[in-house]
Amino acid sequence: MKILVASSIHQSAIDRLSESHEVVCAFGAPTDELARLIVDCDALVFRSGVQITADVMRAAPNLKLIIRAGSGMDNIDVPFVKQQGYEFVRIPGPGARAVAELAFTLMLTLARKVLIADNLLRKGRWAKHEMTGHLLQGKVLGVVGAGNIGTVVGQMGHAWGMEVIGCVEHPSEQQAERLAAHGIRMVDCDEVFRSADFVSIHVPLKESTRYLVDERALSLMKPTAFLVNLARGGVVDEQALYRALTEGRLAGAGLDVHENEGEGKISPLAELPNVVLTPHIGAGTFDTQIQIGNIIVETVESFVARQAEAAATAQAK
């Protein structure tokens, strides 16, 4: 097979794929370059940071297999994928723990004023008595989007001794039972914003979730609450968030994802001391990327084996 790898994946996976296949790497390439490189490819591997448009996929008449090395689908034309009948494989599992751990990194950094304390100490200020923070234990953790990643966040919150509430897009008795098994009480979205001391966002970006966290949602939150977003930048209205933070209607925010991402882009929240910003590193751990790489290789080899078996069966007939 010829495989186009459009995003950075672990080198060990590229090396293993290259043993049996022709691998073309074009990490973060623009769509016109991807369209040129994919022409004679059978498979495509991608993460965030690239746009997989219908035109890109249409340029590859032999394309059969698409692997999303993660969970998000906001940067690929999903209707076109379904229309063409490509085998589309997502790998959400390994990244869930990494994203959940970063959610707690952001929550703890905000609750204990770590960035402020660090900055003052580097300037010689011993601000010990100004840095009184908050425990996570005993607080209400609200998970907006209690799916794969959100459930792991909820489990971790439960283990920290937090009261965990969460909402899902399509609530049902079965969903409530599933979440309860992980220590999460299902409520509606407004109740999450209204009751939580920490709100953690984990929904996909689509039309129904764009600016889900808007002026109205933020107005429901306690002025002592913290918001963390590890979903997608477009889920949070950053201008509304800026106003809530500067007007004292919210205690702080941590964002790993941003409306405008990439080199040279500066968040409108960058000037605020009660904000923690990271560059979309949620799934960026060595452990996670090795696991994802292994699954990519297994997925490709399984696909090739099934194709060979189908060809042999057809020939036998």
Contacts of 20 (CB under 8 A, 6+ apart): 301, 304
Selecting among 280, 298, 306, 309, the annotated active-site residue is 280
Contact 203, 145 (CB under 8 A): yes
Query: CA separation (Å) from 267 to 98, 259, 281?
Result: 23, 8, 16
Residue 129 appears among annotated catalytic residues = no
Query: CA separation (Å) from 212 to 140, 183, 293, 296?
Result: 20, 25, 32, 32
Residue 232 appears among annotated catalytic residues = yes
User: Could you give the CA distance from residue 177 to residue 202 in angstroms, rounded to a whole number?
Assistant: 19
Chain centre to alpha carbon of residue 162: 23
Whose CA is closest to 163, among 143, 189, 147?
A: 143
Alpha-carbon radius of gyration of the chain:
22
Selecting among 261, 263, 271, 309, the annotated active-site residue is 261
Selecting among 47, 232, 238, 258, the annotated active-site residue is 232
Residue 182 appears among annotated catalytic residues = no
Active site residues: 232, 261, 280
